[in-house]
A and B are shown apart, each in its own frame.
Chain A
Amino acid sequence: MSSQAKEDSTSTPPFAIEYSAVTVRFPETLAVDALELSIPSSRTTALIGPSGCGKTTLLRLAVGLQNATSGAVRVLGQPLEATTLDQLRHSIGYVVQEGGLFPHLSCADNVALVAEHLGWTRERVRARTSELCELVQLSEELMQRAPGELSGGQRQRVGLMRALFLDPELLLFDEPLAALDPMVRAELQDDLKKIFARLEKSVLLVTHDLAEAGYLADDIILMRAGRVVQRGGLREMLEQPVEPFVTEFVSAQRGARDLLAEAQQ
């Protein structure tokens, strides 16, 4: 996958997200343990690991939905501060399972919510909606419907449109495809891969599916108990595991092995 940085934008920092000595402690557990981690710009990175390993917490830290117990998080070169957080969030697209769409608004209103707040004209909103419909392969007629009237895959595409609407620099995905059936899922994975390649955004993707991570991401971060166990490509994890847990985790994922076997043929 192409990884050339945008040459015209000199302001793009080398790292989209930087975690410095970040610890997040919940009453019962230590979700993130003194973590040092940088997520590169203009590439797709996947966070993977068993439930409770802290991957979702890392994603939530990046958009200010979770505060660090200690340590600092910088996003797009800026520290997360209450006064500038909303501004910064306009440069972040956040996608959750099923799209996290608001059931009382039409899909069109869901995607244009922030743009309307920022005073975009109706024409500009309409043009951007059409453009994105084409990008995510969704019929424009569906946009007038309520999210409840769409299929799970269609909702996920609308969720992606909402995240992309302001053309953000950073995209965060929290298990975006987990709730979809396999056919729809495969189709969306293909589409996402094309979209990532075309837009060259910084993408951080949380998934529990190693095959999906390997397919979509340039770089995979395997986590366990709030720490990074291994970072690299899918092949590296299979061939040079740093500890037995990596092999254990990988062998549990039939899809990943098949994928690799396929690649090796």
Chain B
Amino acid sequence: MNQLASMKNFKKYIPLMKELITRDLKVKYRRSVLGYLWSLLNPLMMMAILTMIFSQIFRFNIPNYPLYLICGQTLWSFFNESTNQAMYSVLYNGALLKKVYIPKYIFPVSRVLSSFVTMSFSLLAIVIVLLVTRTPLHWTILLFPVPLVFLLLFSIGVGMVLSALSVYFRDVVHLYSVVTLAWMYMTPIFYSLDIVPEKVAFLIRCNPMYHYITFFRELLLYGQIPTAGVWIFCGISSLGALAIGVLIFRKLQRNFILYL
């Protein structure tokens, strides 16, 4: 009964979801001359700089380093941006929440989705790198949406937890910036897993982000389909994060209004 009502509710709020996503995209590039082009330029420029640093100065020996790098970097920056934005989403929309009933999960979810749209523009940057580096194209490339969907669900879950907690404790906001820094270094974005000591490598293998990124790279760079174990790990971690996010959010949302 309740479930049915909330499904119906969801349909009613699709226009709102669309409106919030377009708002995010508009605000993001407001008053910049190049606008959406930045979604393309930004990852390319970052890649160029990081490639210079890590292949010239630190001399990492990873074949097709630019592509290796931009794959990891695109997925990571999506995760980083979307969860950070989601964290503030309920706080920022306090004015609206105080005025009219809206299902509150709309805010973190729409934030993550708008980052997802931005990331889709950035995928074009990956295509450019694929072409420029003359990487042989494998048919496995067609499966590229799979790891992205895993990542999307995972980010929604994490975003929901953060957005709910940050309403009660603003400390979460400060803490999370440190957590993401540690998390970034624990994710092989610019290095590969072979160069880290075994103890650390074990830790990194527990990191879902490592698996989503590796999944994506296997498809694009190496033309391989990941083993069943990887699929299962990715599936469980993303759905698990989503479930935990929904549970915590539902439990906490009732009293949001008192803390906004």
A and B found bound together: no
